[in-house]
Structure formats: structure tokens, C-alpha cells
């Protein structure tokens, strides 16, 4: 009878440990909970943006997941129709970051890297 109780205790412990590691699997190693599934994705590789044109919703804040795959530093700056910066993202090197972009009016914008102004793309806000 004592032996049966020990087996039960070990079984209960095993279940508790399994639940613990399952919770951990969705922690730091999983995608950040703060990234919107509808986020705009822009990648940089070989001193160029991978996407020549991306779309974002008009009139509401949105996120850009910027993945710089280069060893060179890059950022994403959004230029309004008048050429002024509507948003300037932080420079990152060989890493990914999530920018929070304020609401923009509908229209066609350009985005560029401030460090490499020949890296450009089009952001269609609609
Ligand atoms: Cu750059």
C-alpha cells in the first residue's frame, strides 16, 4: 500500500513537471506577444530592402517587424508625400525589431534607410 502511494506521488510530480515545461515553451522562446499578426514585414539583406512595396492600414497605428539580416546597420524611415519623415525607426544591426508606427493618412509613402539612402521602397497606406 505504501508502494502504491509512492507511485502515485511520482506520477503526480511528473504531470506537474510536464505542465511546467509546456508553459515555458511558450515563454521567452515563442513569438513576442506584443507583435500584431497583421504587422507589416520589411527585411533588409545585401544593403537592400527585400520588399519593394508593402501595404499598411490607413488611420490607425500599426507595427512594422523589421528584420535586418545584414551585418551592416539599417533602419526604416517613412517619408510623407512632402518628403518629411512621418516615422523614423531605430537603427538595428543583424537583428530584428518591431516598430510601432502612428496612424497615417491614406496615400503613397516612401520608406528608406537613413544610413543608406539608396535603400528605398514604397509604403501604400489604404
Ligand atoms: Cu541601411
pLDDT at 34: 83
The Cα–Cα gap between 70 and 78 comes to 20
pLDDT at 33: 58
What's the confidence (pLDDT) of residue 3? 54
Phi, psi dihedral angles at 65 (to 5 degrees): -90, 110
90 strand-pairing partners: none
* Weakly modelled stretches of the chain, pLDDT under 70: 1-33
Q: Residue 81 has what pLDDT? A: 87
What one-character DSSP code corresponds to residue 80? -
Supply the pLDDT for residue 17.
Answer: 41
* End-to-end CA gap in the chain: 71
Q: How far apart are CA 42 and CA 62, in angstroms?
A: 13
Ligand 1: distance of its center to the CA of 13 in Å? 52
Amino acid 54: pLDDT: 98
d(CA 113, CA 3): 68
Tell me how far the alpha carbon of residue 80 lies from the centroid of ligand 1, in angstroms. 19
Q: How far is the CA of 29 from the centre of ligand 1 (A)?
A: 28
According to DSSP, residue 89 is labeled P
Rounded to two decimals, what is the model's pTM? 0.73
Amino acid at each position: 500500500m505504501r508502494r502504491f502511494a509512492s507511485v502515485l506521488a511520482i506520477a503526480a510530480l511528473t504531470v506537474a513537471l510536464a505542465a511546467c515545461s509546456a508553459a515555458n515553451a511558450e515563454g521567452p522562446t515563442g513569438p513576442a506577444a506584443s507583435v500584431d499578426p497583421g504587422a507589416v514585414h520589411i527585411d533588409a539583406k545585401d544593403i537592400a530592402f527585400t520588399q519593394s512595396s508593402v501595404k499598411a492600414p490607413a488611420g490607425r497605428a500599426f507595427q512594422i517587424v523589421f528584420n535586418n539580416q545584414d551585418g551592416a546597420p539599417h533602419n526604416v524611415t517613412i517619408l510623407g508625400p512632402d518628403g518629411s519623415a512621418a516615422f523614423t525607426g531605430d537603427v538595428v544591426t543583424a537583428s530584428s525589431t518591431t516598430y510601432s508606427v502612428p496612424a497615417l493618412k491614406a496615400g503613397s509613402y516612401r520608406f528608406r534607410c537613413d544610413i543608406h539612402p539608396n535603400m528605398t521602397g514604397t509604403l501604400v497606406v489604404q
